[in-house]
Amino acid sequence: MAVIVYTLAFVGGFCIMSLELLGGRVLAPYFGSSIYVWGSIITVFMLSLSVGYLLGGRLSLHHPSLGRFALIFLAAAACLYPLVYFSEAIMTWIFGQVADPRYGSLLASSILFILPTVIMGMISPYSVRMLVRTTTHSGHVAGVLYFVSTLGSALGTLATSFYLVLWFEINTILTLLTAALLAMAAIAALATRWVASGPAVTAETTVPSGKTA
């Protein structure tokens, strides 16, 4: 099961940074490529991730399972994909309402990116809960998990800025990211068949959680 959870975390990290980089290109036609456009995007992503961490940790308290984990990916995909269809109309509306491109870009990145990013932010803490067996190893598990998900983020940044934008349209890349999230949801859902029960342990015990993948 550990391999599955690490894969989910890796892909989550990849999608977050790929989306952040695309954000700059999505906003540029309406708000320019001035430094404050990147400022808006990074602010919104950081805030959203921080809220996502909080919510993901909270969610992991109630019957954590791969099945519920799959739902997180499903929700992320559902919040990401509408960008393909609605971002133009939303930005056109904001462009007409807000004259200052600083606040225009802040508002636009909020409306476009908060939801998918909050949900993708939930992946990391939930992964920790799925993996931790003992308090002794909890720091180690968290360390490996950050390593894997941040590696995914690095690769998402690199792949998007070096290659994906050279090969594909922005909307195609957004669709691919949605597909990747859906694939992860499917993997997590299928894995529940093999992993009979989730890690039904409390932080203080060392009882193994039945079968592991």
DSSP letter at 101 equals H
Nearer to another protein, 55 or 155 (CB): 155
- Binding to another protein (CB under 8 A) within 8-47 occurs at 25, 28-35
Nearer to another protein, 23 or 101 (CB): 101
CA neighbours within 13 Å on the CB side: how many for 170? 17
- Binding to another protein (CB under 8 A) within 85-114 occurs at 95-96, 99, 101
Identify the residue among 165, 183, 187, 189 touching another protein (CB under 8 A). Answer: 165
Identify the residue among 64, 168, 183, 201 touching another protein (CB under 8 A). Answer: 168
- Nearest-angstrom CA–CA distance, 185 and 166: 28
- Nearest-angstrom CA–CA distance, 81 and 114: 13
- Strands annotated E in 21-147: none
Nearer to another protein, 25 or 137 (CB): 25
Of 42-50, 124-132, 134-142, 160-168, which part binds another protein (CB under 8 A)? 160-168
- Nearest-angstrom CA–CA distance, 63 and 77: 22
Nearest to 126 by CA among 3, 16, 6: 6
Identify the residue among 171, 175, 192, 209 touching another protein (CB under 8 A). Answer: 171
Nearest to 87 by CA among 27, 31, 22, 32: 27
Q: Note the residues at the interface with another protein (CB under 8 A).
A: 25, 28-35, 95-96, 99, 101, 162, 165-166, 168-171
